[in-house]
């Protein structure tokens, strides 16, 4: 996936690409027995860096800005359960030295 994106063969819709990468980041987390798995998936760092890079290319720096773009693809307008996704976003955006 990394080489596909880096080769410029990704979507022409940057919002869709951000949505896809954020879902990949969320998918790196599993919840066995209702508890968050503490072992990161091998793709975790890739998706963190990719979300941050795509957001930077789109001049998005906050979760509120991201939600507006994500809503143009498909995103719930309000959900009490999306706080954990905001946490993933915040963590990815704080990776200053990684990207």
Q: Cα(8)–Cα(56) distance, rounded to whole angstroms?
A: 16
Q: Is 98 part of any domain? A: no
Domain limits at 68? 2-93
**Domain for residue 49, yes or no?**
yes
With a cut of 50, say whether residue 97 has pLDDT above it.
no
More confident residue, 23 or 80: 23
**The tokens 């990394």 sit on which residue?**
2
Confidence of residue 89 (pLDDT cuts 50, 70, 90): confident
Is the Cβ–Cβ distance between 4 and 10 less than 8 Å?
yes
Residues in Cβ contact with 98 at an 8 Å cutoff, skipping those fewer than 6 apart:
45, 48, 49, 52
89 found inside a domain: yes
Say if 60 falls within a structural domain. yes
């Amino acid at each position: 996936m990394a080489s596909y994106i880096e080769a410029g063969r990704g979507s022409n819709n940057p919002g869709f690409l951000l949505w896809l990468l954020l879902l990949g980041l969320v998918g790196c987390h599993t919840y066995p027995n209702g508890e968050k798995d503490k072992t990161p998936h091998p793709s975790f760092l890739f998706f963190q860096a990719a979300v941050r890079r795509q957001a930077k290319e789109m001049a998005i720096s906050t979760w509120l800005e991201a939600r507006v773009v994500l809503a143009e693809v498909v995103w719930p307008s309000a959900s009490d359960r999306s706080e954990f996704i905001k946490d993933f976003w915040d963590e990815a955006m704080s990776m200053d030295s990684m990207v």
